Chains A and B, each alone.
Chain A
Amino acid sequence: MRSSLLRIAFLAGVAVLTATQAGAQQKVDVRRAVTRDVYVRLNGAFSSLKVTGWQKDSLVMTGVLPRESRFEPAMGAGPGPVPGLKFYIEGAANTPVSGSLELFVPVGATVWAKSGSATIDVTGITGGLDLNIVGGSISVAGNPRELNIESMDGTVTVNGAPTWMRAKTATGDVTIRGSCTDLGITTVSGTITIRDGSFERSRVESVTGNVTFDAGVTRAGTLLIDTHAGTIDLQIGKASLDIDATTITGSITNSVTTRRPTPGRDGRGEELALSLGTGEARATLRSFKGNIRLIR
């Protein structure tokens, strides 16, 4: 009998807690006619954002935020489709950031989003994306025209073929699967992994992060990888490439041809120049003290 009463009391407590939590949230439900290339700016305290491009001339944002959060939409006046919207979310003081939002926008939209520690997932946008977080993760699937990502220690994953892409992290790892015409990635100590597809102009820089490039370089394309202490792994496959590899104190391993690297300028480090195939593309690999490996 006593245990039954305890059980009922416990369940009642859970019910009250759930109701309190539900009551402690505010619903977000924004619907607006927008232009096909609408610019959407979302800044503030949210922990999860899912952005989806759709074939409609409207924007829908739904989700929940803590009741203490201040949600400020700025959507302009008038009934017609608007070319730009801004949303600002101010979190409550001394409260962990939470709040989950889902945003549907026309595929050609440009979305700018910034938060502290957050998970941002984007799919199906062909316009522009400018995403900025401190921690958490950013994942983009699709072929945005422009993709700019900045993160401190959040991981970055891109699956698709952005035309222009820049990604900058401090410690966050960057993984790209796909293709890109103009690629620029910098990290301090995160790893950089580029696989599949083909890349036309790529510049990859790290301080201590390891770099793996296992993709193609388009005809007449350029690939530049600079690192201070990271390892550079270049998976060449059947690429037709002119390769120029230099280390200041690190070593170079060539598993592609029988050519051996030569000692560096003052007897330290190594240098290796290779021409594979008809050499229509060029790869320049430079490392201060990390090792460079050319792998078939």
Chain B
Amino acid sequence: MTTHLTWETLNDLVDDVLSPAAKAAAETHARDCASCATSLAELRATVAVTHDLPESVTPPEDLWHDVRATIEAGKVAHLPLGSVPAHARGFWVTPGRLAAAAVMLVAVTASLTGIVMTSQPATQTIAQAPLAVSVSWQASERVFQANVLALREQLEALHDHLAPETLVKVERALATIDLAIAEGREALLRDPANAALSELVASNYRQKIELLRRVTQLASS
């Protein structure tokens, strides 16, 4: 066999649903091909790790207390204006890191939601320090940006797996979301205690990560 095992075949091999002949052929190839052997090992490790994961995760009680304490302390910090430095292309393109990105996505979403839920009610006065958001929000944005970057790099590495017209649609949709995030952030800087606004901005963040996750999965399958 001269071509590498497909992602589907690797999954079928791990799931043990290949026919005996196909299974034997795939295993023979994996023995002789270092690349496929590595992919297979990583896939098996990922599956093993996911089996060990709990079915649901409840955030620790003191997490929200910490978030609230941070907000109530009135600490503010300026939003970072520069972009996050780029990493090497393709760094994230492994199943294990894909799983890690998914875990990070959950963490970001939970974090943003937590901050929003513990934000001050809309009836309170607007924060005194303009053009600033809470430290917690800033931290969440940093995590969000790191996730976007990771998914972007992954997508770039899988660029050739997607049809050009699909990439155009994706970039157009991402531009729409980016514009919405920029408008939302600008408004949030003027009114950082606006809970409804925080929710709307968080919603756009989620949309962007979710879209990148979907298109990356699409490209890797």
A and B part of one assembly = yes
Are A208 and B180 in touch, CB under 8 angstroms?
yes
Are B191 and A266 in touch, CB under 8 angstroms?
yes
Interface residues of B (CB under 8 A from A): 6, 8-9, 12, 15, 17-20, 22, 122, 126, 163, 166, 169-170, 172-173, 176-177, 180, 183-184, 187, 190-191, 194, 196-197, 199-200, 203-204, 206-207, 210-211, 214-215, 218, 221
Kindly state the separation between the CA atoms of A72 and B215 in the bound complex, as whole angstroms: 24
The verdict on A61 contacting chain B, using a C-beta distance below 8 Å, is: no
The verdict on A116 contacting chain B, using a C-beta distance below 8 Å, is: yes
12 contacts between A and B (CB under 8 A): A116-B166, A132-B218, A134-B166, A134-B218, A171-B173, A188-B173, A188-B177, A228-B183, A266-B191, A271-B122, A288-B197, A289-B183
B211: chain A residues within 8 A (beta carbon): 170, 188
Are B12 and A86 in touch, CB under 8 angstroms?
yes
Are A226 and B203 in touch, CB under 8 angstroms?
yes
Are A152 and B170 in touch, CB under 8 angstroms?
yes
Are B17 and A86 in touch, CB under 8 angstroms?
yes
Interface residues of A (CB under 8 A from B): 43-44, 72, 74-77, 84-86, 88, 90, 114, 116, 132, 134, 150, 152-153, 168, 170-171, 186, 188-189, 205, 207-208, 226, 228-229, 246, 248-249, 265-266, 271, 286-289
Nearest first, the 8 closest Cβ-Cβ pairs linking A and B are A228-B180, A170-B173, A246-B196, A188-B173, A74-B17, A226-B203, A88-B8, A207-B180
Are A207 and B207 in touch, CB under 8 angstroms?
yes
Kindly state the separation between the CA atoms of A88 and B12 in the bound complex, as whole angstroms: 10
Are B200 and A248 in touch, CB under 8 angstroms?
yes
Q: Which single member of B6, B177, B199 contacts A90 (CB below 8 Å)?
A: B6
- CB within 8 Å for A43 and B204 given contacts A188-B177, A266-B126: no
Are A43 and B221 in touch, CB under 8 angstroms?
yes
Task: Look across to chain B and name the residue whose beta carbon is closest to the beta carbon of A74.
Answer: B17
Kindly state the separation between the CA atoms of A229 and B181 in the bound complex, as whole angstroms: 11
A84: chain B residues within 8 A (beta carbon): 17
B191: chain A residues within 8 A (beta carbon): 265-266
Are B126 and A170 in touch, CB under 8 angstroms?
no
Are A114 and B169 in touch, CB under 8 angstroms?
no
CB distance from B99 to the nearest CB of A (A): 18
A44: chain B residues within 8 A (beta carbon): 8
A116: chain B residues within 8 A (beta carbon): 163, 166
- CB within 8 Å for A205 and B221 given contacts A150-B214, A265-B122, A266-B190: no
B17: chain A residues within 8 A (beta carbon): 74-76, 84-86
Are A168 and B214 in touch, CB under 8 angstroms?
yes
Are A188 and B166 in touch, CB under 8 angstroms?
no
Are B170 and A77 in touch, CB under 8 angstroms?
no
Kindly state the separation between the CA atoms of A37 and B12 in the bound complex, as whole angstroms: 20
Which of B8, B172, B177, B184 is most buried by chain A, counting CB atoms within 10 A of its CB? Answer: B8
Are B204 and A228 in touch, CB under 8 angstroms?
yes
Are B8 and A43 in touch, CB under 8 angstroms?
yes
B122: chain A residues within 8 A (beta carbon): 246, 265, 271
Kindly state the separation between the CA atoms of A74 and B176 in the bound complex, as whole angstroms: 41
Kindly state the separation between the CA atoms of A77 and B191 in the bound complex, as whole angstroms: 63
Are B20 and A189 in touch, CB under 8 angstroms?
no
Q: Which single member of B166, B183, B184 contacts A152 (CB below 8 Å)?
A: B166
Are B184 and A228 in touch, CB under 8 angstroms?
yes
Kindly state the separation between the CA atoms of A293 and B183 in the bound complex, as whole angstroms: 22
B190: chain A residues within 8 A (beta carbon): 266
Kindly state the separation between the CA atoms of A42 and B201 in the bound complex, as whole angstroms: 36
A88: chain B residues within 8 A (beta carbon): 6, 8-9, 12
Kindly state the separation between the CA atoms of A132 and B215 in the bound complex, as whole angstroms: 11
Are A153 and B169 in touch, CB under 8 angstroms?
yes
B221: chain A residues within 8 A (beta carbon): 43, 114
